[in-house]
Chain A
Amino acid sequence: MSGEVDITLMVNGEEQVLSVPASRTLLAALRDDLELTGTKNACSQGVCGACTVLVDGMQVNACLLLAVNTDGCKITTIEGLGEGGKLSVVQQAFVDSGAIQCGFCMSGMIVSATALLAENPNPSRDEIRQALSGNLCRCSGYVRVVNAVLLASERRGA
């Protein structure tokens, strides 16, 4: 295979057939080909977590995956978390907790928090901090982020 490669991704429940150069990252495919710009591009080194998405349910850095290597995978981005035009429980909890400052890191934070709660519905503050350790916030507002995940956990349990 050379030049453009045809791939099929299931993105937020919709099948997407794309033709991409083999070197294109999943992040670039999402943002530039599918115009899903909620997933952010910052470090491109897997350090900041702004590009966190779920691939087959697992939180990963979309900048470290080649789109061709995710052919056939199920991708969930920030745009796919809400349902019927409503924010997800996690998204709403972030809004209600005042966790969002400039907002750039939030897509990644919320995707990581969603992955955590799917696996561990009642995490401790420490577990939340560890699960979100790969998501950097340069406004440095981590306390309310942890509060938001706890609130989401409570509301999901309610």
Chain B
Amino acid sequence: MHFHKPISLDEAIALLAGDAGAMPLAGGATLVAMMNAELIEPNALVSLGAIDELKAVKSAAGGDVRIGAMVSHTELATSEQLVGGHAVVRRAASLIAHPTVRNIGTIGGAVAHGDPSSDLLPALVAADAVIEAAGSAGRRDIAAEDFFEDYLTTTLAEGEVVAAVRLPKSPVGATGVYEKFTRVHGDYATLSVAVMLAMKGGNCSFVRIALGAAGPKPIRVKAAEALLIGSELDGEAIAAASQLLAEASDPVDDVRGSADYRLILVPRLLSRALANARSQVEGAA
């Protein structure tokens, strides 16, 4: 196996374009584990670890936040820039696996891997994130909602890498919460719910919801959000929204829970997430 550690993204892209058997290496938390399990045997690895432009979290004047692909889960989990609605990303990152893994894994790696059980994926959809991809054809932006297509399948083209994740300005007064159900601390979610919420005069004025581990990609249903907006987040509205989300879900049976059990969790975790988010925005008001 060949190993490259370029210092610029352009150089990395050229190396990947020149070798169809080469793979980009972010933190390695998943890629090296897959190599250890002999699931993949790359001809070459192009480490993105020495490229400075991928390592920063930058807040822009308009309230946008740009997170470089090589920012680790630990850095996200402790970032003071992820406030308001963007806290959904911070909180999701803080629940990924364990400290040892969070110090290694990166947002770019998690996004490119596209595992629907990953904590960051639903959080990014709830934050309406934009994925910045870079390849030999140039750079392009893809909405997180469109980026994830299926199990471990994204819209990234051959030779393209994730350069950054951009979070657009979150609504004034919004908060972001992430509810995750696991049987064992640090495991992948049996089901998770990412929520960005704002309230006005006791009614929901803004909400975006995405489910994790509920199907082949993060599950978002705009009609469910429409049922909640303008409501007092009463039990009836939450039950109706949960119903739509559960109908759009397509979970699997696995060691972390049956598909039926995951669907039973949808209204419970959504209620908890909304109550938690509501107490935060009303406590802050």
Contacts and interface: CB of A to CB of B under 8 A. Distances in A.
A1 B100 contact: no
Contacts of B261: none
Nearest to B3: A22
A65 B32 contact: yes
Contacts of A49: 98, 100
A82 B226 CA distance: 60
B1 A21 contact: yes
Interface in A33-50: 44-46, 49
Residue of A25, A58, A61 with most partner-chain B CB within 10 A: A61
Nearest to B98: A134
B35 interface: yes
B99 A133 contact: yes
Interface residues of A, number: 29
A91 interface: no
Interface residues of B, number: 27
Interface of A: 1-2, 5, 21-23, 25, 44-46, 49, 52, 58-61, 63-66, 68-69, 112, 115, 130-131, 133-135
A25 B32 contact: yes
Residue of B33, B37, B74, B185 with most partner-chain A CB within 10 A: B33
Interface in B166-195: 185-186
A13 to B, nearest CB: 21
Interface in B1-32: 1-5, 25, 27-29, 32
B103 interface: yes
A130 B74 CA distance: 13
Interface string B201-215: 000000000000000
B230 interface: no
Contacts of A25: 32, 36
B3 A66 contact: yes
Given A2-B2, A133-B185, A44 B98 contact: no
B98 A69 contact: no
A65 B45 CA distance: 13
Residue of B29, B36, B97 with most partner-chain A CB within 10 A: B36
A155 to B, nearest CB: 23
Given A22-B45, A69-B47, A64 B33 contact: yes
A58 to B, nearest CB: 5
Contacts of A64: 27-29, 32-33, 101, 104
B49 interface: yes
Contact of A69 (B1, B5, B35): B5
Contacts of B45: 22, 66
B104 A133 contact: no
Nearest to B37: A45
Given A22-B45, A69-B47, A1 B4 contact: yes
A43 B203 CA distance: 49
Contacts of B5: 68-69
B29 to A, nearest CB: 5
A84 to B, nearest CB: 28
17 contacts: A2-B1, A5-B3, A22-B2, A22-B45, A23-B1, A46-B104, A59-B99, A63-B33, A64-B27, A69-B47, A112-B100, A130-B185, A131-B99, A133-B98, A134-B98, A134-B99, A134-B101
